[in-house]
Amino acid sequence: MDAPTNYRFSTLAIHSHQASDPETGAVIIPIYETSTFEQEDAGKHKGYDYSRSGNPTRRALEGCLADLEGGAYGLCFASGLGALTTVSMALFKPGDHILCGDDVYGGTYRFFDKVFRPLGIDVSFIDFTAPEEVQRHIKPNTKALYLETPTNPLLKLVDIQAMVAIAKEHNLLTILDNTFASPYLQKGISIGVDIVLHSTTKYIGGHSDVVGGALILKDDTYFQPLRFYQNSLGATPDPFASWLTLRGLKTLAIRMKAHEANAMALAQFLESHPGVENVIYPGLSSHPQHALAKKQMSGFGGMISVRIKGGLEEARTFMKSLKLFTLAESLGGVESLVEHPALMTHASVEPHIRKAIGITDNLVRMSVGIEDIEDLKQDMAQALEKTTKIAQPQ
Ligand code: P1T
């Protein structure tokens, strides 16, 4: 069936760019596992010539993601960082300056700080929760605002509308990493963001079985250069990865509702537990930006960060004692994961910077899955009991 864009989110996720195969009637987009395509005459083909440049399975995913974000184009990549490096190489040049949030995925920080900066592109990491700070750091050569919201791992909220207003005033490009919210909970393009970035490895794929990334473009302003760099840099996903991602994407709406319901219940449970110093979850009224979360998101998502009472030893004990939560990097899959930002996802951020922004040694990040909430609570309770014994020896 065809999917006009006036269909709603869940319908688009299942049908957009996924019509039945006209030749065979196959209901599901095939995995076009081919590296190349026959040409009728040199340079004359049916729209595809080589799978790095384009592949029908990937094309379906790109189109569907564009519709879900309310954008004009989607471009997919072999990873979220593949999307980041491609957009960065395509749109910035030596001498440019980028303002980036100070709490972003460690790999994003590493790319900007350790790879891009030595190439002559200046990057400042600023507290994006304070729009006046962002204003203050704009220089004549500033070209873009790079924001992540909610942030990884501290779940801070960045006011997208305020950032878009600043960008308009100073003629800057806005790039929003929407990985933590997913297009189901937050739509940057309708607020005026130019480019949305995803690690599709996370909620979009949803099953911890495939790595990928995407860029969704508001309009055609940057389509040609990004398409050119996508093909020229070559960080494209293979057909099977595209297919797995598209298959996961179909259930994004119901998964996000289930992630959120579990995360909210668990956050409330943890907030009342004596073994926990503080709980960071945008859905709690104790979150300093709860009102902003309500304004710009249609739900609060499935990520929780907690500070365990004590220090590194207690955090380690807590994580090792969990039975249902797997100790692993990544997030957004149906299974619950737990990780230690300082030692794992944000190890590439220098200790003094981690300290300054609040990535403490007792900070633990949880990706709450869609298992039964009672089992998740019980798991937390037994792990905290073991941890509390360490924290308060009798
Ligand atoms: O891992 P990859 O698909 O390359 O995506 C990178 C990336 C980009 N943006 C955000 C907000 C991310 O969280 C990530 C990857 N993050 C993890 C692996 C993690 O455990 O936080």
3-state SS, one letter per residue, for the chain: CCCCCCCCHHHHHHHCCCCCCCCCCCCCCCCCCCCECCCCECCECCCCCECCCCCHHHHHHHHHHHHHHCCCEEEEECCHHHHHHHHHHHHCCCCCEEEEECCCCHHHHHHHHHHHHHHCCEEEEECCCCHHHHHHCCCCCEEEEEEECCCCCCCCCCCHHHHHHHHHHHCCEEEEECCCCHHHHCCCHHHCCCEEEEECCCCCCCCCCCCCEEEEECCCCCHHHHHHHHHHHCCCCCHHHHHHHHHHHCCHHHHHHHHHHHHHHHHHHHHCCCCEEEEECCCCCCCCCHHHHHHHCCCCCCEEEEEECCCHHHHHHHHHHCCCCEECCCCCCCCCEEECCCCCCCCCCCHHHHHHHCCCCCEEEEECCCCCHHHHHHHHHHHHHHHHHHHCCC
- Say yes or no: 19 and 76 in one domain: yes
- Say yes or no: 205 and 260 in one domain: no
- Say yes or no: 44 and 140 in one domain: yes
- Say yes or no: 189 and 321 in one domain: no
Per-residue confidence (pLDDT) for residue 391, from 0 to 100: 73
Q: Is the pLDDT of residue 123 over 90?
A: yes
Q: What is the CATH number of the domain that holds 333?
A: 3.90.1150.10
Over residues 201-212, the mean pLDDT reads: 98
Query: Domain count of the chain?
Result: 2
- Say yes or no: 187 and 305 in one domain: no
Local confidence band at 110 (pLDDT 50, 70, 90 cut-offs): very high
Residues assigned a catalytic role: 52, 105, 177, 202
Q: Is the pLDDT of residue 392 over 80?
A: no
Rounded-to-integer distance, Cα 287 and Cα 308, Å: 17
- Say yes or no: 245 and 299 in one domain: no
- Say yes or no: 261 and 200 in one domain: no
CA of 308 to the centre of ligand 1 (A): 23
Q: Is the pLDDT of residue 5 over 80?
A: no
Over residues 105-128, the mean pLDDT reads: 98
Of 191, 226, 249, the position where a domain reaches its end is 249
- Say yes or no: 113 and 189 in one domain: yes
Q: Is the pLDDT of residue 261 over 80?
A: yes
Does residue 366 sit within a domain? yes
Q: Is the pLDDT of residue 128 over 90?
A: yes
Of 214, 249, 284, the position where a domain reaches its end is 249
Does residue 165 sit within a domain? yes
- Say yes or no: 271 and 220 in one domain: no
CA of 201 to the centre of ligand 1 (A): 8
Per-residue confidence (pLDDT) for residue 288, from 0 to 100: 98
- Say yes or no: 46 and 136 in one domain: yes
- Say yes or no: 46 and 135 in one domain: yes
CA of 27 to the centre of ligand 1 (A): 32
Please give the model's pTM, rounded to 2 decimal places.
0.97
Q: Is the pLDDT of residue 389 over 60?
A: yes
- Among protein residues, the one with the nearest Cα to ligand 1's atom 13 is 105
CA of 330 to the centre of ligand 1 (A): 7
Does residue 90 sit within a domain? yes
Does residue 135 sit within a domain? yes
Over residues 20-48, the mean pLDDT reads: 97
Does residue 4 sit within a domain? no
Does residue 2 sit within a domain? no
Of 249, 274, 309, the position where a domain reaches its end is 249
Triad 14, 18, 19: Cα angle to 5°: 115
The model's pLDDT over 209-258, given as tens digits with 9 standing for 90+, comes to 999 999 999 999 999 999 999 999 999 999 999 999 999 999 999 999 99
Does residue 394 sit within a domain? no
Local confidence band at 393 (pLDDT 50, 70, 90 cut-offs): low
- Among protein residues, the one with the nearest Cα to ligand 1's atom 10 is 105
- Say yes or no: 200 and 346 in one domain: no
Beta bridge mates, 217: 73, 195
Q: Can you tell me which atom of ligand 1 is nearest the CA of 201? A: 3
Does residue 192 sit within a domain? yes
Per-residue confidence (pLDDT) for residue 4, from 0 to 100: 59
Pocket test for ligand 1, best of 76, 155, 179 (most atoms within 8 A of CB): 179
Ligand 1 pocket, residues with Cβ under 6 angstroms:
79-81, 105, 107-108, 148, 152, 177, 179-180, 199, 201, 211, 213, 329-331, 345
The model's pLDDT over 41-94, given as tens digits with 9 standing for 90+, comes to 999 999 999 999 999 999 999 999 999 999 999 999 999 999 999 999 999 999
Q: Can you tell me which atom of ligand 1 is nearest the CA of 339? A: 20
Q: What is the CATH number of the domain that holds 224?
A: 3.40.640.10
Per-residue confidence (pLDDT) for residue 6, from 0 to 100: 85
Q: Can you tell me which atom of ligand 1 is nearest the CA of 367? A: 20
339: containing domain: 252-388
